[in-house]
Structures are given as structure tokens and as C-alpha cells.
Amino acid sequence: MAGILLKPTSSLLIVLTCFFSSSVATSGAGKPHRFSRTLLPESVGLKQEETATHLHFYFHDILGGTNPTAVPIVEAAATKTSATAFGRVIMMDDPLTETLEATSKLVGRCQGFYAYASQSEFSFLMVMNFAFTEGEYNGSTLSVLGRNPVQSTVREMPVVGGTGLFRFARGYAQAETRTFDLKTGDAVVEYNVFVVH
């Protein structure tokens, strides 16, 4: 069978997989349904040698004006009396651009939400997907889930996964606020993202 062309460990996996699937196939009528099966890493595109990528872009969080890209969606009763707006949630569909200028080339969008998660400082829970639209990364995404204490100079958040070219991605994102408008809350944040995938 196929195992003869593969390494000993791989053939063992195939033998075990075949054994598992045939034992389950007999237990139900019609098409066999398996809860799990072992795959060869290459069969799902997991390369033996990983690629490391550095992405650099600017995130524009626009709350003011007539075309906001970030809107408050939830607030607790206690948020009004909280010095750190604890409990507020903002939904965003923020443009990501190549340079600091909002009119520079769009490389993607950041879609997700951030929640005011601290009672003692301005610190957000970030739940966001970077959906890239530029060049080879068009259609690929990275998911970030992390803590963002916005008054710190550099904030680091984990990249927990990705799609497309970023399948199996893991890494980290570093955020540094470049401009912040106290009146509107508008901010431009520089992102440096390092991922292996």
C-alpha cells in the first residue's frame, strides 16, 4: 500500500488511520462518519520549513465625523461613572494603510471589536481580524486576540492564527500610537506584525 514510499513513522500513521477508519466504518450504516483522523502534515499544506513574515502598516480608528469606522455598540450602566470607561465595547472596520497618511495605499482592513477591560487604566481586550487586500496577501487574514494597554508606548498582542497564506500562523503584533485626537478619539496606530506560517 501507499505506506511503502513513506518514512517508517508516516507508514505507521497510515496503518493506524486505516485500522481506525475501517473499525468505525463497520459500526454505522451508509457513509462512515469519523470524529477525528490523523493527517500527514504536508496534506494540509503544513510545510516542513516555515516562513517568517514581517508586516508593517498603519491602523486608522476613526470615531468622529460623519463616516466613523469605529462605533460604540455596548456599554454597562456603570460605564458612565467609570474613570476608565470600563464595560464599553467598540466595533470597528478600520482601514489599514501603507503609511501614516489616511490617503496612502490601503493594504487591508481591521475588523473586530475592542472592549474597555480595565477598571484602573485604559486597557482594551482586542478581538480582531486583519483582512489583507494587497498583493500576494489579498484574501488572507490574521487573527489577533490580546490585551492592549493603550497608554503604554508599545503594546504586544498574540497572533493566534490565520487563513490563506497565513494558515497555521502564530506570532505577535506590536502596536504604537502615532496620533491621537483627544476631542474625537480618532487614533492612528502603527503595527509591526511578526508571524511564522
Residue numbers at the binding site for ligand NAG (CB under 6 A):
133-134, 138-139
For ligand NAG, the closer of residues 141 and 148 by Cβ is 141
Nearest approach, Cβ of residue 55 and ligand NAG (Å)? 15
Looking at the Cβ atoms of 41 and 139, the one nearer to ligand NAG is 139
**For residues 99 and 133, which CB has a smaller minimum distance to ligand NAG in the complex?**
133
CB of 130 to ligand NAG, least distance (A): 15
| Shortest distance, position 107 Cβ to ligand NAG, whole Å | 9
Q: How far is the CB of 69 from ligand NAG (least distance, A)?
A: 19
70 vs 107, beta carbon nearer ligand NAG: 107
CB of 132 to ligand NAG, least distance (A): 9
Give the integer Cα–Cα distance in Å for 40 and 110. Answer: 33
Query: Within 13 Å of residue 141, how many CA atoms lie on the same side as its CB?
Result: 13
Looking at the Cβ atoms of 133 and 179, the one nearer to ligand NAG is 133
Instruction: Report the Cα 6 to chain-centroid distance in Å.
Output: 35
Q: Nearest residue to ligand NAG, using CB?
A: 138
How far apart are CB 167 and ligand NAG at their closest, in Å? 17
Given 3-state DSSP classes, what are the helix, strand and coil percentages for the chain, each rounded to the nearest 5?
20, 45, 40
List the beta strands (DSSP E) in the chain.
52-61, 70-74, 89-97, 106-116, 123-132, 141-149, 155-163, 170-180, 187-196
CB closer to ligand NAG, 93 vs 156: 93
